[in-house]
């Protein structure tokens, strides 16, 4: 689980770097547009492409930390054993969903590559965004699978914080 934790953390850091870059480009475009009339060509396209990749890159860390939305209205008074079994079952379902999502994203990326689709303004190949999304989606599925079948309670080590 340490290696999965490292990969998830690396994905989250990369997502943060990507979103920081998008923020800087957007700010430059807005300031330029409002002061000199200059703008970054395709800033909306860059934002869309980067946001899609960043969202996928944040998912492994979110799953590793069990920070998904949990609606416990019906299980709030259930025993911890029942909640643990439900959490494992939820992790199994989530794993299946992310593995299917990774498969379909890879298929979409191959299709985009074969048809050579690009963004309208920049001509950026769309398959690259798909390709960037597949590894973190797979990683999220694997993490959820480990959570479903792994030791009873996997704790995240906080040694990096010290």
162 domain-assigned: no
Angle of the 126-149 helix axis to the 2-35 helix axis, nearest 10: 150
Give the residue numbers spanning the domain of 101.
2-154
160 domain-assigned: no
159 domain-assigned: no
Question: Residue written as tokens 């379902």?
Answer: 93
User: How many domains does the structure of the chain reveal?
Assistant: 1
pTM of structure: 0.83
pLDDT in tens, the chain (162 residues): 899 999 999 999 999 999 999 999 999 999 999 999 888 888 888 898 899 899 999 999 999 998 877 777 778 888 888 888 988 999 999 999 999 999 999 999 999 999 999 988 888 899 999 999 999 999 999 999 999 998 754 444 444 444
């Amino acid at each position: 689980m340490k290696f999965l934790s490292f990969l998830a953390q690396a994905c989250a850091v990369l997502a943060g770097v990507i979103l920081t870059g998008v923020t800087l480009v957007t700010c430059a475009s807005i300031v330029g547009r409002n002061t000199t009339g200059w703008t970054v060509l395709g800033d909306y396209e860059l934002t869309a492409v980067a946001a899609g990749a960043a969202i996928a890159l944040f998912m492994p860390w979110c799953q590793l930390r069990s920070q998904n939305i949990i609606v416990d209205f019906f299980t709030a008074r259930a025993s911890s054993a029942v909640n643990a079994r439900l959490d494992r079952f939820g992790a199994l379902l989530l794993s299946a969903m992310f593995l299917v999502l990774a498969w379909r994203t890879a298929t979409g990326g191959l299709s985009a590559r074969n048809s050579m689709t690009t963004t309208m303004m920049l001509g950026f190949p769309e398959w690259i965004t798909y390709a960037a999304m597949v590894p973190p989606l797979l990683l999220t599925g694997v993490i959820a699978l480990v959570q479903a079948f792994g030791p009873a309670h996997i704790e995240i080590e906080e040694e990096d914080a010290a």
